[in-house]
Amino acid sequence: AEIRASGYDLSIEELHPGMLAAAAPVTVDGEAVAAITVSSTTVRSSAEALEREIVPLLVDAAQRIARAYRGANPGLYRNGSRH
């Protein structure tokens, strides 16, 4: 529910020391059909910079992909619902 509300998730050294990542779902009509991720290291970036500088671009890209996905699959999305 938290990711759905914010539109992204962060992984700050959760799996590997020194690794940072941000992910945003590609959602069409409220359903996640894909996700995109950006990763870096704590040597190159900080969690704060990732969230401040990269996350807005990542979320925007996910939204653009969702629009393109929907446009490329019009047969699946007739009358505003998935068939």
What is the pTM for the complete model shown? 0.80
DSSP 22-65: EEEEEEETTEEEEEEEEEEETTT--HHHIIIIIHHHHHHHHHHH
Report pLDDT for 70.
Answer: 83
- Written as six digits, the tokens of 64 are 């653009």
Report pLDDT for 61.
Answer: 97
Report pLDDT for 79.
Answer: 54
Mean predicted confidence (pLDDT) in 43-62: 95
